[in-house]
């Protein structure tokens, strides 16, 4: 048997589509000894490829004809050797290839994403009037948001894949809108920085001076309050001492007639003081109870533990401790949760 006839027989025995068919059934084998991948050594089959994560997949067909490799990407002829290593890990069925060529998208596409990222047909919109980019993005975002209902509950990997596509699209639209917002806002921010650089030192220095004066006034009024409270305390002690002396001055058992005291209305609350100035407005002086120092942190934490803000803070601190690898945290239960990034 000649070498040429042996080669022809080998082609009949070895199915040239075998690599692709096996990869289609079990993509995890791609790159293994069962389905090796080598540069410039393409295999027949149908695949898809994209050269950027924010670009849609394009269909690829590779086959050998009359001893020469042929390859088409989205209907455009390319070199099989050049595109092989980019597309080989994404095998697709022939039906999926045909549907993509016909512009029907991919089976695992989210419908909204497929509709929005489909490339425009040549010539469409070339002579259209200028449009507001915000209006275009608004329409795209509103249409994308309509697709959220399909993923309120995800029950299989295929749906999760479509949901991720919609999430990526919404994040992409959010990024586009934020970039445009930043682009339009930046000149104003730069102008604002120039103004702030000129005026804020004046604002801060004057405010810091006013705050220093206020701190001195607070200290003065607090000292006045302390002296007043001390005088009140001494007056109360003197009253108690006088009553005790009066009781001691009478024989034991003598009944004293209670003094007649005219009923007086309750004294009005202590008026709020004012510091009047010869320039500008007066300052009011009020008395409030303030924390001086914490003497028992556990007791304070227990007392405040029913406050929603305290609970929220404790929950965040507990999560931070878990994220740092600590597990023995009292007062909580934990569970495993998958977080998509």
- One DSSP character per residue, 107-169 reads TTS-HHHHHHHSPPPTTTTTTPPP--HHHHHHHHHHHHHGGGGGGSS--SHHHHHHHHHHHHH
- The predicted pLDDT at position 6 comes to 40
Lowest mean pLDDT of 125-129, 237-241, 315-319, name the range: 125-129
Residue 290: both structure tokens together? 């303030």
Q: Are strands 68-73 and 45-49 parallel, antiparallel or unpaired?
A: unpaired
Q: What percent of the chain has pLDDT over 70?
A: 85
Q: Considering the chain, what is the average pLDDT of its residues?
A: 85
Count of CA atoms in the C-beta half-sphere (13 A) of 83: 27
Structurally, how many domains does the chain consist of?
1
Nearest residue to 138 via CA among 112, 176, 166: 176
Does residue 81 lie within any of the structural domains? yes
Tokens of residue 121, six digits: 């047909």
Structural domain boundaries enclosing 12 = 3-107
With respect to residue 287, please indicate whether it lies within any of the assigned structural domains: no
| 61 falls within a domain | yes
**Within-domain flag for 248:** no
Least confident window among 94-108, 186-200, 243-257, 300-314: 243-257
Q: Is residue 261 part of a domain?
A: no
Q: How many CA atoms lie within 13 A of 239 on its CB side?
A: 6
Report yes or no on 41 lying in a domain: yes
Cα(116)–Cα(118) distance, rounded to whole angstroms? Answer: 6
Give a yes or no: residue 166 inside a domain.
Answer: no
Structure confidence at residue 247 as a pLDDT band (50, 70, 90): confident
Q: Give 16's contacts (C-beta < 8 A, 6+ positions apart).
A: 43, 44, 63, 64
Q: Tell me if 19 sits within 8 A of 44, measured CB to CB.
A: yes
- pLDDT 10s digits, 29-86: 999 999 999 988 999 999 999 877 767 889 999 999 988 999 999 999 999 999 999 9
Q: Give the global pTM.
A: 0.59
Residue 85 within any structural domain of the chain: yes
Residue pair 175/147 in contact by the 8 Å Cβ criterion:
no
């Amino acid at each position: 048997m000649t070498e040429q006839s042996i080669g022809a027989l080998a082609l009949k025995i070895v199915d040239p589509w075998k690599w692709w068919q096996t990869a289609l059934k079990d993509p995890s084998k791609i790159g293994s000894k069962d389905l090796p991948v080598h540069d410039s050594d393409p295999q027949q089959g149908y695949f898809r490829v994209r050269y950027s994560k924010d670009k849609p997949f394009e269909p690829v067909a590779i086959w050998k004809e009359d001893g020469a490799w042929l390859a088409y990407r989205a209907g455009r002829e390319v070199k099989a050797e050049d595109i092989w290593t980019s597309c080989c890990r994404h095998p697709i069925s022939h039906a999926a290839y045909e549907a993509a060529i016909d512009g029907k998208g991919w089976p695992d596409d989210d419908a909204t994403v497929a509709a929005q990222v489909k490339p425009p047909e040549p010539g469409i919109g070339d002579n259209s009037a200028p449009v507001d980019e915000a209006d275009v993005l608004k329409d795209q975002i509103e249409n994308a948001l309509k697709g959220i209902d399909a993923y309120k509950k995800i029950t299989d990997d295929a749906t999760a894949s479509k949901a991720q596509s919609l999430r990526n699209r919404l994040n992409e639209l959010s990024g586009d809108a934020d970039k445009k917002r930043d682009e339009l806002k930046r000149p104003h921010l730069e102008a604002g920085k120039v103004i702030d650089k000129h005026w804020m030192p004046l604002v801060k220095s004057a405010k810091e001076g006013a705050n220093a004066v206020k701190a001195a006034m607070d200290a003065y009024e607090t000292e006045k309050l302390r002296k007043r409270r001390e005088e009140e305390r001494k007056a109360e002690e003197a009253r108690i001492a006088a009553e005790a002396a009066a009781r001691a001055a009478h024989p034991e058992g003598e009944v004293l007639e209670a003094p007649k005291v005219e009923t007086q209305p309750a004294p009005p609350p202590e008026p709020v003081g004012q510091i009047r100035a010869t320039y500008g407005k007066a300052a009011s002086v009020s008395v409030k109870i303030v924390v001086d120092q914490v003497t028992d942190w556990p007791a304070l934490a227990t007392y405040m533990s029913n406050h929603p803000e305290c609970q929220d803070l404790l929950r965040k601190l507990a999560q931070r401790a878990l994220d740092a690898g600590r597990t023995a945290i009292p007062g909580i239960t934990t569970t495993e949760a998958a977080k998509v990034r």
